[in-house]
Amino acid sequence: MAAKLNASESLDCSDSSSSNDQSVSNRSSNRVAEKERRKNEAEDPFVLALKYFSDVEAGTPHQGNDDFENNLALVEKVAYSRGLPPEAISIMLEFAMSLRMGTSPVVRVLKCLIPASVVPQDAIVRAVVWLGISKITAGTQVLFIKWVLTIFDMIDAKDQLRAVYGFIFSFVTDENLCPFICHLLYLLTRKESVRVFRVRKLLDLQSKLGRQPFLLHLLSLYKVFCPELVTLSIPSRMRSGFRNHNSPWKSTLIIVQKRNGSQLASIVNPAVTLKDKTSSRKRKHWHLEIPALSSAVNKGAQTEPSRRKVVPLVQIQSFAQLLENMHRVELPAQMGSLLGSSLALQYLDCVQDESALLRLNFWLGYALHEEFLFCSDGGASQNSEEALQLLDKLLSAHHFLQEGFSSSEAFLYKFLNVWDGSLLRPQILGLLSNIPVVPSSQIGQLLFEPLMQLFFTSSPFFKCGLMESLNNMLRKWLTWHSVYALEDDLDISLNSHTSINMTLSGFKDSVMELVHFVGRLATIGLQLEGCHSLLFNFILDFYETVCDMFLKYGLPLIVMPPTGVFYPALFATDPVSVDRLAYIMYRYKVNLTSAKSQEKLTEQAFHISRQTFREFNNYLVFMVNCLWNSKMIHLGTDIQLGEELLLKSNVPQYWASFDLIHHPAFMNYAVDFHRRCWPGRKDMDINSIKHSKPWGWYLEYLFTQGYDGLKLFIQSNISRQLPAGDGQGDKLSTDER
Amino acid sequence: MERHQTSVTRTPLNSVVVQRRSKSKSYRQSYRSCLGATSRLGFTPALTAQRLNASRRAPKSHDITKKVNPEHLNLLMKTEWQLSYVTPLYQFRHTQLKSYSRQLSAFIAAEKQQGFAVEVDGSHSFRVSFSVVQGMVETDHDAETILIQIHSSPAFARQDEPQKSVWRGCLTCINGNPDYIHSLLKDFICLPLFGSSGPQGLTSLVKSWFQQTFDCYFGPLEISNTSLQWLVALWTNCHTESNIQHLKMIWTLPAVPPLQVTYSVNPEDAWELWSSVRKAHQEENEGGEKAKDEAIVDIEEVMRFMQCLKSHFYRHFRLDLSAGSLDQVSTALGSAKSNGRIKILNSKYMITTLTLLTECALLKMPI
């Protein structure tokens, strides 16, 4: 690539020569090399051939002209193998279009104009001028325009071409050229080029030629730029774009480009798509169709006084363009169209235009209501591809904006009451998790009642999905809080769009309601599903969020899990649940201690109720006793199990059956450890692990199995006194109050 | 295969208010049907917190002929409107109607000859006119009613032949919920009730032009069971002032094959029954509010009235109409069908009917 550029640079100064790839060795070419190269070039037959074509006098006959024949053959050879350098293109095009040797060689020359890199636009402009004055046959004219269309993306600049837009436009009246000129104009058109007289001209043509796709495409582009000048409706089923005319050059171009390892954009494929395929959808689901992005027609009223220049959003293609035109972007006629474009959403998010957002919400709410609630087509389209696509788009917009639209929230409150829990479940649960903070006075009626019904009547997988969704919801609420809460002014505006203003205590109430609600669901859900381990996993996920509310999100609120979650997790048969519970308890401890120290530090800090501390301590003591001390001590806790009842169960040493060795979740580790520790022993006595030394090793062994939660829990809560006997001397370091 | 069973019964004069177990479906349920399949929740967080009013003013003879251009009134009446609800119109200006007329006719022309572009100012076979129906408002926050007419010259018309009116539509808001209207930004005009009459094709063209121009959306508006029952009562209530001629109700019962019952009541009998229901209700509610009660009709009265009509029918035909649904109501004042078609025949009581329908349309608003 570098070599090639170098070559074309040198060509600019040595007027009548051409490139020779081999002659350019590297960038550090000194004067001697330069001279040498020039000499080589002068002798290069290709350069000489080009010289011939640029110097040949007008009127030279071509028939029986051996010089011409040889030189053209040489140029063709180079063109078909490596492509022609820019200068060569200029020379050959000039030669052909000026008809210096009559009309017959033109086609042959045009066909071999395969650019190696770029095409200088001067050459095109000159050729277009020749098109106007010389007597080129109609077929050849068409061929030339086809060639221009084919190599359009390779033209180095387009400003001069655009400058002669009017001149090119004048060719539309030519019946043969019209389709191709329209295509070329389509590629060149800018807002400035759309003029009333041109629109008139095209309309005239249309009335003469009938509804031709090329005219329509050009007109529709005019409409995009100046909707007030063109009233046109695009047929719903229009062939997409212009036809490709690159057939004479296509294969060669591909070969040449491949050979040159060209990084130029792939071959011109200027076919435009006006509407994407989805527009040909069945009429039935019209309410699901996201409106097309089109500029507003009816702007007379609003911009008349200060007719500042505006840029319709439809014309903005890149983020850079958006930044450039930020101050003068014109919103589209139908805001619903924004949903499909991330660029547009970006703009919307940035400007926070209330009425624009309201328009979007009206459309969205309308579409959702019609589809899922009013079921105007008898529910036939439910579960359809369109509904799925709409919700997916909506979700990705939510994801992009990191908040939900108020209309989808309003829709959900209604829809949850009639939802069967299976229709488009992932999408609906996704929307659910985007619901912004609901005031605690309404949260029960709006969310909990319908969700509770759904939860208790559905499969464990739905329960898992709902848990995940509620966890995400809580996380989003907490994130909003940590972003928007201001230190001194505790009033937080949580969602700028729905403008729900909330006090900190209001927010705390809502979070507390949600956490308690999930606690209830989890308790009963675990019972219903027999401690389904997947469900457990999702529930513990939720509590992993809950236990860290203070440290991670700065929310002065600590809520303990209910007994219905804590005990099943502690007695779970899979070690993962126990491990995760241990981690959660560890995080609770960290949060509580730091909250307490902060309370001591700053007088006005929040006050954690004694009840929370008591609950935590009870859990902690029980857990440590159970896992570590082989004791089942209930310190005035919520759960009371009669001693005699336990005795009646005939479990020997029932108090020890949930220590780290006998716990059903860890028993197999204990057995495995025993085997490794005492490989020779025939009779297994896992109680021997309890001795101080093997106990230490056993813990180490457990930790290496990846039970980090357990490790953190034990390290933070139990200070081991190494010389102690059987672990009984280990101390609890809880912060009892 | 529908069995039609028509019965014209006379209501006994000494008809007693019969209380039955299945007195009526709870109101809440009927609201649900008003919202289509929606929930019992009227609450949506951002803007609306409304449901169908449980009580409304008894229709007073309202001589709007003085306020409203009789020509417009004529157009509004005697047309069977197919109803839709419309979300608020963005940047609709009552001052721009001329330009809208031009744009819409160009749009229709363009759509009609798909693919052919049309100049904005060219002459078309379709002429659209937008006009304001002055005086068709009840309160200050109601936006003025808009009447749209489309005229067209017949295919082989002579030059001088006048264009024929082929399509008519109106956008209106009568007694719209002020809270809702005020909650909208000022760029939005709330005209939630859209009635159209004419070929379907033109209706959908007009709708799509509105959607593209004002970023608003149209959905079908059915007239719910409750609303129809309201109309039965409200229209009957007018009988003394303006003869309702007949009270005809069509019910569909979920039998196989479906049973359609046409139930016509003598206007005098209907009125007798209605006034007895009113009296009984007012006696029940004896206590300070009597003066106010005169003008207010309560949903309980409506339900009781309907219940009496049903129980009378049951006594004669052993057919419980509450198992079915009310499909159609008609009196000399107008007719309404559950599929959202309404015809108003007497201008005096137009406002009351439109108020009810505006309410129904507002209930359908997505936010």
Cis? peptide before B257, omega within 30° of 0: yes
- Split into its structural domains, chain B has a count of 2
Question: Could you tell me the two tokens for A715?
Answer: 């390290």
Q: Which residues contact B242 (CB under 8 A, 6 or more apart)?
A: B61, B332, B333, B346, B348, B349
Looking at per-residue confidence, does A275 or A464 come out higher?
Answer: A464
H/E segment holding residue B298: strand B296-298
Break chain A into its structural domains and give their ranges. 44-259, 285-291+312-423, 436-559, 580-737
User: Where does residue A102 fall: left (phi above 0), alpha (psi -120 to 50 degrees), or beta otherwise?
Assistant: left
Q: Are residues B208 and B260 in the same domain?
A: no
The vertex-A485 CA angle with A481 and A486, nearest 5°, equals 165
Question: Could you tell me the two tokens for A552?
Answer: 């991670």
* Residue bearing tokens 């009927």: B30
Helix A504-528 and helix A533-547, axial crossing angle in degrees, nearest 10: 160
Rounded CA gap, B345 and A489, in Å?
Answer: 61
H/E segment holding residue B209: helix B200-214
3-state SS, residue A535: helix
Q: Nearest by CB to B117, which of A231, A407, A413?
A: A231
Q: Nearest by CB to A369, which of B106, B119, B366?
A: B366
Q: Nearest by CB to B41, which of A363, A374, A417?
A: A417
For residue B195, is it within any domain? yes
A546-555 residue pLDDT tens: 999 999 998 8
What is the per-residue pLDDT for A297?
58
Cα→Cα distances A354→A290, A396, A499, B169, B174, Å: 20, 21, 11, 30, 26
From chain B, the residues in CB contact with A358 under 8 A are 184-185, 188, 367
A459-492 residue pLDDT tens: 999 999 999 999 999 999 998 888 776 543 444 4
Q: Are residues B193 and B273 in the same domain?
A: no
Going by their DSSP bridges, the two strands B80-86 and B341-344 should be labelled as antiparallel
Q: Which residues contact A546 (CB under 8 A, 6 or more apart)?
A: A474, A515, A559, A561
For residue B55, is it within any domain? no
Q: Are residues B152 and B210 in the same domain?
A: yes
Q: Are residues B257 and B319 in the same domain?
A: yes
CB distance from A231 to chain B under 8 Å?
yes
Q: Are residues B212 and B227 in the same domain?
A: no
Q: Are residues B209 and B116 in the same domain?
A: yes
Mean pLDDT of A334-359: 83
Tell me what percent of the residues of chain A surpass a pLDDT of 70: 79
Q: Are residues B172 and B231 in the same domain?
A: no
Rounded CA gap, A325 and A27, in Å?
Answer: 40
Q: Are residues B177 and B261 in the same domain?
A: no
Q: Which residues contact A212 (CB under 8 A, 6 or more apart)?
A: A178, A179, A206
For residue B140, is it within any domain? yes
pLDDT tens-place values along chain B, 367 residues long:
434 433 333 333 333 333 222 222 222 222 222 222 222 223 333 333 445 677 777 666 666 777 888 888 888 888 899 999 999 999 999 999 999 998 898 888 877 766 555 544 444 578 899 999 888 888 888 899 999 999 987 656 566 677 788 999 999 999 888 888 888 888 899 999 999 999 998 999 999 999 989 999 999 999 999 999 999 999 998 888 888 889 999 999 988 888 899 999 999 999 999 999 988 888 877 655 554 556 788 888 999 999 999 999 999 999 899 889 999 999 999 999 999 999 999 888 888 899 999 999 999 988 8
For residue B153, is it within any domain? yes
Say which DSSP state A687 is in: G
Mean pLDDT of A104-112: 86
- Per the structure, the complete domain to which residue B309 belongs is given by 3-48+223-340
For residue B65, is it within any domain? no
Interface contact B87-A363, CB threshold 8 A: yes
Cα→Cα distances A698→A299, A686, A692, A695, Å: 78, 11, 10, 5
The whole-chain average pLDDT of chain A stands at: 78
Question: Could you tell me the two tokens for B264?
Answer: 């016509």
Nearest CA in chain B to A302: B91
Q: Which residues contact B179 (CB under 8 A, 6 or more apart)?
A: B49, B50
For residue B316, is it within any domain? yes
Mean pLDDT of A615-641: 78
Rounded CA gap, A321 and A300, in Å?
Answer: 25
Q: Are residues B191 and B253 in the same domain?
A: no
A:495-554 residues touching chain B, CB 8 A cutoff: 498, 500
For residue B356, is it within any domain? no
CB distance from A330 to chain B under 8 Å?
no
Say which DSSP state B328 is in: E
Rounded CA gap, A704 and A706, in Å?
Answer: 5
Cα→Cα distances B342→A574, B233, B331, B346, Å: 66, 16, 12, 12
Determine if the pTM surpasses 0.95. no
Nearest CA in chain B to A199: B119
Interface contact A417-B40, CB threshold 8 A: yes
Distance from CA of A365 to the nearest CA of B (A): 5
CB distance from A217 to chain B under 8 Å?
no
Say which DSSP state B323 is in: G
CB distance from A708 to chain B under 8 Å?
no
Distance from CA of B319 to the nearest CA of A (A): 29
Exposure letters B225-238 (e unless 16+ CB within 10 A, then b): bbbbbbbbbbbbbb
Q: Which residues contact A427 (CB under 8 A, 6 or more apart)?
A: A388, A391, A392, A395
Rounded CA gap, B197 and B76, in Å?
Answer: 10
What is the per-residue pLDDT for B110?
79
From chain B, the residues in CB contact with A335 under 8 A are 215
CB distance from A77 to chain B under 8 Å?
no
What is the per-residue pLDDT for B327?
93
Q: Are residues B199 and B239 in the same domain?
A: no
Closest by CA to A120, choosing from A11, A198, A196, is A11
Q: Which amino acid is at B249?
A: M
3-state SS, residue B195: strand
Q: Inform me whether the pLDDT recorded for A699 exceeds 80.
A: yes
For residue B59, is it within any domain? no
A186-196 residue pLDDT tens: 888 888 888 88
Interface contact B217-A363, CB threshold 8 A: yes
What is the per-residue pLDDT for A589?
94
Mean pLDDT of A5-28: 41
A353-395 residue pLDDT tens: 788 888 888 999 999 998 888 876 555 545 577 888 889 999 9
When mean pLDDT is compared over A241-245, A576-580, B112-116, the highest value belongs to A576-580
Closest by CA to B208, choosing from B104, B106, B92, is B104
Looking at per-residue confidence, does A242 or A423 come out higher?
Answer: A423
Nearest CA in chain A to B122: A231
Rounded CA gap, A536 and A527, in Å?
Answer: 11
Q: Are residues B162 and B194 in the same domain?
A: yes
Going by their DSSP bridges, the two strands B259-265 and B3-9 should be labelled as parallel
* Residue bearing tokens 């009559």: A102
Within B215-297, where are the H helices?
Answer: 225-237, 267-284, 290-293
Rounded CA gap, A406 and A431, in Å?
Answer: 11
Would you say A462 and A425 are in contact if contact means Cβ atoms under 8 Å apart? yes
Exposure letters A371-386 (e unless 16+ CB within 10 A, then b): bbbbbbbeeebeebeb
What is the per-residue pLDDT for B82?
95
Rounded CA gap, B161 and B4, in Å?
Answer: 46
Interface contact B45-A498, CB threshold 8 A: yes
Distance from CA of A519 to the nearest CA of B (A): 25
Q: Are residues B250 and B210 in the same domain?
A: no
What is the per-residue pLDDT for A450?
93
From chain B, the residues in CB contact with A297 under 8 A are 103, 212-213
Q: Inform me whether the pLDDT recorded for A271 exceeds 50.
A: no
Rounded CA gap, B102 and B130, in Å?
Answer: 9
CB distance from A292 to chain B under 8 Å?
no
**What ipTM score was computed for the predicted complex, to two decimals?**
0.81
